[in-house]
Structure 1
Amino acid sequence: MLRWTITFVIIAIIAGILGFGGIAGASAGIAKILFFIFIVLFVLSLVKGLLSK
């Protein structure tokens, strides 16, 4: 999931440089959502790993 976040950030940067504001904004929004989902899943994984020991 982190790869998808990085992919959308790169798309947002390239679209922003080329002047496509709408696409850049949408890609940045998607990247932000995916990043927060990744963080939540990562924390849940850590908690599950700590509780299973």
Structure 2
Amino acid sequence: MSSWEGSTHNSRIFNFVISDCRHNFMHSPLGKYYLIDSDYPLRRGYLKPTF
């Protein structure tokens, strides 16, 4: 997503990419999770650390 402005927060780009099927973003298999940074929002298939 190189066309986004540099001040755009990564979580906004993340939400855009995973919600738009045209980007063919790889989702986790059923019952599995991808570990993401704590700045990203919780979504199905993505696990972030809690403090």
- TM-score by structure 1 length? 0.30
Bigger proportion of residues as strand: 2
Bigger proportion of residues as helix: 1
